[in-house]
């Protein structure tokens, strides 16, 4: 069967899931090549698969030290996977089609709509062009700033390379770094320039390209869509709440915020809070945080970033709809109202479905890992949620994972990136229209 005919038979969710899987497989093969590794030893297939999945799903969890394990070629492969996973392989493929003046079919537009979590196909190609331009501009600007900053500490060529790698990794919320030692970017904890630029990158990558497009158009339209209002307001509240909780809980912790001054404490608190949106980059030792802080981080990682962004989780809009539904129920209202707009029932049902599926996935995975891994429960729960939310923060469990643990985390990262509901749509047989409806019944709730 030709690829073109197979492409026509697949549904958009199936194309999205299979496309991600195929690119991960290609990345795995490339990372296993001798040219990709520094050690000279054969790189285990499961570790190559784990790294490729983590890169393509923009997670950042790694069973090996990226700096010491991979050569420059291997690191570039990881960076390409991060870029493809962040903006979407269909986005990149369509961009090349546009460059070659190829016609974008209706099916291509439907797949793009699915991959970018857009509500309809109207204007999807125009949005795609903006996605590419946004990415190039933002990553390029950040790379220049990072290269200038690190040129005082390392040779200029290395500084430029580091600047490009970390700009792409941080903007796409991937969490990979080249400093080694599984320390992430702890040495930059009080660097104002690095922290501010990184937080801007994470926030822009986490709010999504739809919101960024809305913000660019605001000067002309003088209005924002309901989606953008919800994402921006909810993101702001969660970032502020996270920073306050981390600041209060870790203020006297001698292993985290304790040694820092007032400004350093505030900067570090905001950075970790922003990173929890799905970035996976940290300037504090996550394992040294107090258990209360770690558990609070689990909650924020589970919520994740915005739809159509480079992040994972149940998505911040899903969380906001659930909160709106709870408030409406408590007040005895029939409708969920956000910014003077009534939400359709389908949105509420979808939000509940996504949350329950994600919760079940995290709970079951945590139970399995608790049986197969000899580590503390909170460490396992943290790792599981980080993988599902494609966050990439770790308390140190990842390098110690057994074979079964690696396989489970790989599945979690994959499901977390494409979405549990999208995967369910991809796996289900073709639905048939029901010819009848069952009689309505009532059960007692509460």
Q: Distances in Å between the alpha carbon of 242 and those of 21, 130, 270, 300?
A: 34, 31, 7, 8
Instruction: Name the range with the highest mean pLDDT among 170-179, 355-364, 437-446.
Output: 355-364
| Segment 215-262, tens digit of pLDDT | 888 888 888 888 889 999 999 999 999 999 999 999 999 999 989 888
Return all residues near 120 (Cβ < 8 A) that are at least 6 apart.
Answer: 113
The CA-CA-CA angle for residues 433, 431, 94, to 5°, reads 120
Of the candidates 127, 130, 272, the one whose C-alpha atom is nearest the C-alpha of residue 202 is 272
Helical axes 377-388 vs 403-418, angle rounded to 10°: 40
- Rounded to an integer, the average pLDDT of 20-46 is 89
- pTM (predicted TM-score): 0.88
C-alpha to C-alpha distance for 17 and 422, rounded to whole angstroms: 8
Q: What is the pLDDT of residue 277?
A: 82
Q: What is the pLDDT of residue 213?
A: 81
Model confidence at 326: pLDDT above 70 = yes
- Rounded to an integer, the average pLDDT of 269-294 is 90
C-alpha to C-alpha distance for 271 and 198, rounded to whole angstroms: 8
Q: What is the pLDDT of residue 100?
A: 55
Q: Distances in Å between the alpha carbon of 23 and those of 1, 57, 89, 264?
A: 20, 11, 9, 41
Model confidence at 429: pLDDT above 80 = no
Q: What is the pLDDT of residue 1?
A: 46
C-alpha to C-alpha distance for 99 and 347, rounded to whole angstroms: 36
Model confidence at 92: pLDDT above 50 = yes
- Give me the residue spans of the domains in the chain: 12-425
CB atoms near residue 375 (< 10 Å): 16
Helical axes 226-250 vs 192-207, angle rounded to 10°: 140
Q: Which residues of 182-217 are buried (b: 16+ CB within 10 A; e: fewer)?
A: bebbbebbbbeebbebbbbbbbbbbbbbbbbbbeee
Q: What is the pLDDT of residue 405?
A: 93
DSSP 411: H
Least confident segment among 158-162, 278-282, 421-425: 421-425
What is the phi/psi pair of residue 443, to 5°? -125, 160
- Rounded to an integer, the average pLDDT of 366-390 is 93
Percent of the chain residues topping a pLDDT of 70: 85
Model confidence at 289: pLDDT above 90 = yes
Partner residues linked to 258 by β-bridges:
none
Residue 407, token pair as written in the block: 């396989």
| Segment 407-417, tens digit of pLDDT | 999 999 999 88
C-alpha to C-alpha distance for 323 and 326, rounded to whole angstroms: 5
C-alpha to C-alpha distance for 401 and 379, rounded to whole angstroms: 12
């Amino acid at each position: 069967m030709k690829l073109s005919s197979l492409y026509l038979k697949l549904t958009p969710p199936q194309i999205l899931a299979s496309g991600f899987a195929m690119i991960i497989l290609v990345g795995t093969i490339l990372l296993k090549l001798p040219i990709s590794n520094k050690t000279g030893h054969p790189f285990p297939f499961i570790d190559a698969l784990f790294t490729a999945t983590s890169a393509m799903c923009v997670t950042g969890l790694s069973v090996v030290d990226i700096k010491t394990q991979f050569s420059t070629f291997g690191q570039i492969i990881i960076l390409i996977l991060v870029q493809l996973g962040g903006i979407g392989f269909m986005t990149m493929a369509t961009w090349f089609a546009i460059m070659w003046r190829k016609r974008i079919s209706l099916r291509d537009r439907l797949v793009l709509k699915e991959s970018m979590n857009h509500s309809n196909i109207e204007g999807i190609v125009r949005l795609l062009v903006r996605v590419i331009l946004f990415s190039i501009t933002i990553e390029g600007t950040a790379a220049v700033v990072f290269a200038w900053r690190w040129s005082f500490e390392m040779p200029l060529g290395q500084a430029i390379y580091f600047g490009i790698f970390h700009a792409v990794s941080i903007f796409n919320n991937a969490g990979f770094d080249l400093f080694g030692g599984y320390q992430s970017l702890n040495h930059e904890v009080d660097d104002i320039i690095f922290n501010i630029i990184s937080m801007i990158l994470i926030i822009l990558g986490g709010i999504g390209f739809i919101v960024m497009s809305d913000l660019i158009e605001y000067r002309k339209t003088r209005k924002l869509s309901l989606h953008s209002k919800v994402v921006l307001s909810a993101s702001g509240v969660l970032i502020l709440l996270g920073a306050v909780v981390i600041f209060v809980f870790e203020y006297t912790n001698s292993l985290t915020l304790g040694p820092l001054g007032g400004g350093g404490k505030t900067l570090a608190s905001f950075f970790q809070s922003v990173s929890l949106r799905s970035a996976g980059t940290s300037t504090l030792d996550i394992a040294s945080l107090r258990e209360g802080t770690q558990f609070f981080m689990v909650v924020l990682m589970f919520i994740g970033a915005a739809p159509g962004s480079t992040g994972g989780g149940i998505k911040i809009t899903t969380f906001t709809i659930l909160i709106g539904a709870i408030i409406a129920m408590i007040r005895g209202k029939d409708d969920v109202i956000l910014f003077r707009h009534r939400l359709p029932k389908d949105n509420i049902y979808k939000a509940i479905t996504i949350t329950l599926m994600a919760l079940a996935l995290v709970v079951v995975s945590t139970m399995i890992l608790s049986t197969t891994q000899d580590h503390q429960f909170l460490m396992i729960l943290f790792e599981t949620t980080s993988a599902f939310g494609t966050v990439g923060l770790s308390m140190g469990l990842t390098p110690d994972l057994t074979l079964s643990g690696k396989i489970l985390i790989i599945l979690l990262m994959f499901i977390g990136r494409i979405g549990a509901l999208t995967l369910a749509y991809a796996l289900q047989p073709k639905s048939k229209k029901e010819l009848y409806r069952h009689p309505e019944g009532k059960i007692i709730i509460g």
